[in-house]
């Protein structure tokens, strides 16, 4: 966001307030109360003053509509509610943001109110399975378009029927889209997350439980796909992983990495710049990387023949 005048801070504050309202409504199940039919404010089970003070902001945001008497979800809010895609961790994230300054002491992930570091592996906290499930579900819902587009692109680059590994495949939506196009897909992830993908896709996919930095990757593969993994790892881990991937691929087979990279300036696009802060807060060494740096690591790991597919919010980097 651009700060052009001092009063832009008012907009920032209003946006932060709106985010907190949405998170509070989602946490209290208030959007789902409106799912069946329009309701009067008095029919919602929450403090009336809190409702009266927050409803107007939700109307301005385009999530609620009213006829002056009843409230209803807009089509967008209905879709978000159906996909259970409200920012469930929203209030927790705002409270974590208030402690962002602590990361300037040691670069470690933010700590919660009890002082426990909020460290995750690529967003997954193995110690809190319910939180891990929510995170993976959110990624699943958010990847409806990107998994489709990515599979359409990759279909053009891998030979039909090839054995493809989806490394850190999470929910499995990318793997499923590729499997639907005739590839033989195996999803690799930690045991907890593989169980989530298996619940969703059963025998459509094959699965490997493990730590991709140390365990056998099960090659030789005709292709390896990785989405949203690079930014969760340190530079050393990425270099190490890329060497392992080169060895797990058949000679000349293609690696496809989807991620949000920065350009040569190190500041653009904004979506990657913003994502670096999330990595600072929730991983021990992740950040947004420059595309050129990533390509350099690939070269060092023995890859060449680079090609990049640009989209407005991520890149897909191909290398052989
Ligand atoms: C940000 S999620 C990405 C999920 C999916 N690829 C996507 O783009 O939506 C990162 C995934 O990598 C997995 N992961 C992180 N570190 C891992 C490791 N060392 N070994 C195996 N899986 C790992 C996490 O469990 C999680 O499912």
Domain assignment of residue 124, yes or no:
no
- Phi/psi for 290 (5° steps) reads -75, 140
Q: DSSP letter at 204?
A: G
H/E element, 241: helix 235-248
The residue whose C-alpha atom lies closest to atom 3 belonging to ligand 1 is: 228
Q: What is the pTM of this model?
A: 0.92
Left if phi > 0, otherwise alpha if psi is -120 to 50, otherwise beta: which for 50? alpha
User: What is the Cα–Cα distance from 77 to 74, expressed in whole angstroms?
Assistant: 5
Adjacent-strand bridge partners of 163: 184
Strands 184-189 and 163-167: parallel
Domain termination site, one of 33, 52, 81: 81
* pLDDT of the residue at 147: 98
Percent of the chain with pLDDT over 70: 100
Dist. CA 169 → ligand 1 center (Å): 6
Domain assignment of residue 155, yes or no:
yes
Domain termination site, one of 81, 109, 130: 81
* pLDDT of the residue at 113: 83
Domain co-membership, 63 together with 192: no
The residue whose C-alpha atom lies closest to atom 14 belonging to ligand 1 is: 168
Q: How many domains does the chain have?
A: 2
Residue 244 contacts residue 217 (beta carbons within 8 Å): yes
pLDDT, average across residues 188-194: 98
Q: Chain-centre distance of CA 299, in angstroms? A: 27
User: What is the Cα–Cα distance from 320 to 298, expressed in whole angstroms?
Assistant: 9
* pLDDT of the residue at 89: 74
Mean pLDDT of the chain: 96
Predicted confidence band of residue 28 (pLDDT cuts 50, 70, 90): very high
Domain assignment of residue 44, yes or no:
yes
Q: What CATH number should be reported for the domain holding residue 44?
A: 1.10.10.10
Q: What CATH number should be reported for the domain holding residue 271?
A: 3.40.50.150
Which domain, by its residues, includes 32?
Answer: 8-81
CA distance from start to end of the chain: 37
pLDDT, average across residues 177-195: 98
Ligand 1: nearest atom to the Cα of 226: 6
Candidates 259, 267, 250, 200; CA nearest to 231 is: 259
Helices 173-180 and 191-201 cross at an angle (nearest 10°) of 40
Predicted confidence band of residue 315 (pLDDT cuts 50, 70, 90): very high
pLDDT, average across residues 315-320: 98
**Each residue's pLDDT tens digit, 121-180:** 999 999 999 999 999 998 999 999 999 999 999 999 999 999 999 999 999 999 999 999
Domain co-membership, 170 together with 298: yes
Domain co-membership, 65 together with 210: no
Domain co-membership, 278 together with 148: yes
Ligand 1: nearest atom to the Cα of 213: 19
Dist. CA 105 → ligand 1 center (Å): 27
Adjacent-strand bridge partners of 164: 185, 223
Residue 213 contacts residue 237 (beta carbons within 8 Å): yes
User: What is the Cα–Cα distance from 162 to 148, expressed in whole angstroms?
Assistant: 18
**Each residue's pLDDT tens digit, 70-117:** 999 999 999 999 988 888 778 888 899 999 999 999 999 999 888 888
Domain assignment of residue 311, yes or no:
yes
Percent of the chain with pLDDT over 90: 92
Domain assignment of residue 86, yes or no:
no
Predicted confidence band of residue 299 (pLDDT cuts 50, 70, 90): very high
Cis ω for the linkage preceding 220 (within 30 of 0): yes
């Amino acid at each position: 966001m651009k700060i052009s005048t001092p009063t832009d801070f008012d907009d920032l504050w209003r946006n932060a307030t709106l985010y907190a309202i949405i998170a509070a409504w989602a946490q209290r199940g208030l959007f789902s109360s409106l799912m069946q039919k329009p309701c009067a404010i008095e029919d919602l089970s929450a403090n009336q003053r809190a409702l009266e003070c927050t409803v107007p902001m939700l109307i301005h945001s385009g999530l609620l509509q009213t006829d002056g008497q009843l409230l209803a979800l807009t089509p967008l809010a209905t879709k978000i509610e159906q996909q259970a895609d409200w920012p469930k961790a929203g209030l927790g994230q705002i409270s974590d943001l208030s402690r962002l300054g602590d990361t300037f002491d040691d670069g470690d992930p933010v700590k919660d109110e009890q002082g426990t570091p909020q460290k995750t592996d690529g967003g997954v906290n193995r110690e809190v399975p319910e939180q891990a499930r929510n995170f993976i579900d959110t990624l699943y819902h958010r990847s409806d378009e990107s998994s489709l587009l990515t599979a359409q692109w990759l279909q053009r680059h891998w030979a039909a029927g090839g054995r493809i590994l989806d490394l850190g495949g999470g929910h499995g939506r990318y793997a499923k889209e590729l499997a639907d196009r005739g590839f033989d897909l195996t999803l690799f992830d930690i045991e907890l997350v593989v169980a989530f993908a298996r619940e969703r896709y059963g025998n459509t996919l094959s699965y490997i439980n493990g730590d991709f930095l140390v365990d056998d990757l099960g090659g030789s593969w005709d292709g390896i796909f990785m989405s949203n993994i690079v930014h969760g790892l340190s530079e050393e881990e990425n270099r190490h992983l890329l060497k392992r991937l080169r060895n797990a691929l058949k000679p000349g087979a293609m690696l496809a990495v989807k991620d949000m990279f920065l350009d040569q300036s190190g500041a653009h696009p904004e979506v990657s710049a913003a994502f670096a802060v999330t990595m600072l807060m929730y991983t021990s060494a992740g950040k947004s990387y420059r595309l050129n740096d990533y390509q350099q690591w690939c070269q060092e790991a023995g890859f060449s023949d680079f090609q990049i597919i640009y989209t407005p919010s991520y890149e897909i980097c191909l290398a052989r």
